[in-house]
A and B are shown apart, each in its own frame.
Chain A
Amino acid sequence: MTDVAAANDMFTARKRKSLPAEMNAFLGLVVLILIFEALGWSLMGQSFLFNKLRLSIMITQVAVVGILAVGVTQVIISGGIDLSGGSIIGATSMIAMSFAQSSVFPRAIYIEQGWVDLPIVIPIAIGLGVALICGIINGVLVAYVKLPSFIATLGMMVTARGVALWYTEGKPISFPTDGFKAIGEGLMPVWIFITVAVLFWLILRYTLYGKHTYAIGSNEAAARMSGINVERHLFLVYVIAALLAGLAALVLTARSQTAQAMFGTTNELDAIAMAVIGGVSLAGGRGSILGTAIGMLIFGVIFSGFIFLSVDAYYQNMVKGAIIVGAVALDQWRQKRQAMEI
């Protein structure tokens, strides 16, 4: 039995510690804030971070995409991708807003039918219903028809945008009721984001849903062999992602007090970027809502930092692009280094 004892010793010697993936993103966030803080004092003569107004604008600015990113994060963890979120925001905004108009506006879309000044549950329910339909189509195509998620959601991205444009032939819809406006007033978008983020952080960490999402993203064949109903689970993942896109649309529409067919354009890419910067692996199986939230804050800091320094918005995208690539390169380098330690 000595050989066995030796084998056991070898196993204990392999004990190793690992740094959570969110740590890199958090350090990146801190570094960015320090850079803007230093630039703020030297160029503008004031603090970047310690300004209540700037902070609240910064957070509300990214909260809408943040809600979308929570849904996208769980799709990516399950091993897929969702490109349709931005377009679902567009379609949901338009249709929901048309049922949220006030009778103050004489050219409200459904004024002849008398569908104005409706209680806010109606536009909310209709908006989420639109998102639900999109999610069901995504879910069926990915889970049961077995289309690659990239293709299925690309199709939805194009189709939902088409619906958004078709609905009013591209004209914006405005003048919501005060009740509807309240969804987006003040820090409401931030509270909604925090609620959604904490809820899904808990769900992914502590529930069967979360465990199976990670398992499928990690090894779909193993998950299937273990008796997990992979099809039903993936269906649910895409439906939830679409519903969160719908929620983001409601918040955005209420905050803007208008709906435009091009709402949400490229938001799906921002959401994916937030997740990736936060350490969510595009290969599936790894990442967390916490990481995505940090990624979201990085986007917020860049956004308001550039405005704060009155730097041209064009530079913003250049820096964002570099950060996305840099974050993934850093993550891969870190993983390789870890693999060599084993």
Chain B
Amino acid sequence: MSDVILKTEGLTKYYGGLHALDNANFELRSGEHVAIMGDNGAGKSTFVRQITGVEQRTRGKIIFNGQEVHFKGPLEAREAGIETVFQNLALADDLDVPSNLFLGREKIWLNLGPFSILDFKGMKAATEAALKRTAVKIPNLANTIRNMSGGQRQCVAIARTATFASKLIIMDEPTAALGVQETAQVENIIRTLKSNGEPVILISHNMRQVFDLVDRIVVFRRGRIVANLKKSQTTGEEVVAYITGAKTAPEFSDAA
């Protein structure tokens, strides 16, 4: 199908004898928000690391935007249009918001090689536009990240991905370390992305959040995909049953 953004076929990753990810077949359509759930060590993060090129897969196919891809590193994945919000944020604490948003891809006013002069006005304007698009409110863009709350930091990280991701955003537990109100702020950004039609893969442990935000839930257990559920046709109890292993979907019965 043409509107499939990302598809994996038999994606497998072994760490020595450990089968961290086994034969994962996954599909994401344009505009779709999919949650990946599962216990610790179920293979969620391993799965993401293969897609984003952080690690090299043992075998299997990744088809992104209609083409089979072999990213050598996260940079290549990013250039292809996949942006990831990592658990450890990846922000430079001593820089302000626009500098962080454009870190590594600064707008240049005058090209002088490594001593190129930066286009501060352009970056500030683009930052304001990006924050507006993601409905993030940060009062003072010139403030350094160090002086911001955890929620504001996460918002900057997400705004950064949303600014540059042309095709796919992956979020690895974006609200794990946040308070109630800050979580609400981040969830609001994800809703905004949904209404803009931007596809998202969300890794989360938060059942309420998952049912609030996504269209589909994929459950991992012991390195395998054990369920692929439409949100409208499932319940929290059922998802928990899949996560814990009390239940396995018939089409994945070989994975149990």
A-B contact count (CB 8 A): 110
Question: Is B213 in contact with chain A by the CB < 8 A criterion?
Answer: no
State which of B89, B94, B120 has its C-beta within 8 Å of the C-beta of A218.
B94
| B-side interface size class | 35 or more
CB contacts (< 8 Å) of A206 on chain B: these are 117-118, 120
B160 vs chain A, min Cβ distance (A): 9
State in angstroms the CA–CA spacing of A219 and B86 once bound together: 14
Question: Is A211 in contact with chain B by the CB < 8 A criterion?
Answer: yes
Segment of B104-112, B224-232, B244-252 in the binding face: B104-112
Segment of A9-17, A23-31, A325-333 in the binding face: A9-17
Contact A219 B114 (CB under 8 A): no
B135 vs chain A, min Cβ distance (A): 8
Chain B 11-32 interface 0/1 with A at a Cβ cutoff of 8 Å (1 = within): 0000000000000000000000
CB contacts (< 8 Å) of A322 on chain B: these are none
The secondary structure that dominates the A interface is helix
CB contacts (< 8 Å) of B182 on chain A: these are 7
Task: Tell whether A223 pairs with B92 under 8 Å between CB atoms, given A4-B185, A6-B181, A11-B152.
Answer: yes
Question: Is A310 in contact with chain B by the CB < 8 A criterion?
Answer: no
Question: Is A44 in contact with chain B by the CB < 8 A criterion?
Answer: no
State which of B91, B118, B152 has its C-beta within 8 Å of the C-beta of A207.
B118
Contact B184 A223 (CB under 8 A): no
Question: Is A86 in contact with chain B by the CB < 8 A criterion?
Answer: no
Question: Is B78 in contact with chain A by the CB < 8 A criterion?
Answer: yes
Question: Is B206 in contact with chain A by the CB < 8 A criterion?
Answer: no
State in angstroms the CA–CA spacing of A214 and B105 once bound together: 15
Contact A222 B115 (CB under 8 A): no
| A-side interface size class | 35 or more
Question: Is B138 in contact with chain A by the CB < 8 A criterion?
Answer: yes
CB contacts (< 8 Å) of A11 on chain B: these are 137-139, 149, 151-152, 185
Question: Is B46 in contact with chain A by the CB < 8 A criterion?
Answer: no
Question: Is A226 in contact with chain B by the CB < 8 A criterion?
Answer: yes
Question: Is B95 in contact with chain A by the CB < 8 A criterion?
Answer: yes
Question: Is A342 in contact with chain B by the CB < 8 A criterion?
Answer: yes
Question: Is B93 in contact with chain A by the CB < 8 A criterion?
Answer: yes
Contact B139 A226 (CB under 8 A): no
Chain B 74-101 interface 0/1 with A at a Cβ cutoff of 8 Å (1 = within): 1100100000001011111111000100
Question: Is B140 in contact with chain A by the CB < 8 A criterion?
Answer: yes
A255 vs chain B, min Cβ distance (A): 29
State in angstroms the CA–CA spacing of A215 and B88 once bound together: 16
Contact B117 A207 (CB under 8 A): yes
Contact A286 B184 (CB under 8 A): no
CB contacts (< 8 Å) of A12 on chain B: these are 137, 139
CB contacts (< 8 Å) of B114 on chain A: these are 207-209, 233, 236
Task: Tell whether A208 pairs with B94 under 8 Å between CB atoms, given A14-B139, A228-B103.
Answer: no
The chain A residue sitting closest to B185, CB to CB, is A7
Question: Is A319 in contact with chain B by the CB < 8 A criterion?
Answer: no
Chain A 181-219 interface 0/1 with B at a Cβ cutoff of 8 Å (1 = within): 000000000000000000000010011110100110111
State in angstroms the CA–CA spacing of A12 and B148 once bound together: 11
**Could you list 16 examples of A-B contacts with CB < 8 Å?**
A3-B181, A4-B185, A4-B188, A7-B185, A11-B139, A15-B139, A15-B140, A18-B147, A207-B117, A207-B118, A208-B117, A211-B106, A219-B90, A225-B74, A226-B105, A342-B149
Chain A residues proximal to chain B, CB less than 8 Å:
1, 3-4, 6-8, 10-12, 14-16, 18, 203, 206-209, 211, 214-215, 217-219, 221-223, 225-228, 233, 236, 285-286, 338, 342
Chain B residues proximal to chain A, CB less than 8 Å:
74-75, 78, 86, 88-95, 99, 103-106, 108, 112, 114-118, 120, 137-140, 143, 147-149, 151-152, 180-182, 184-185, 188
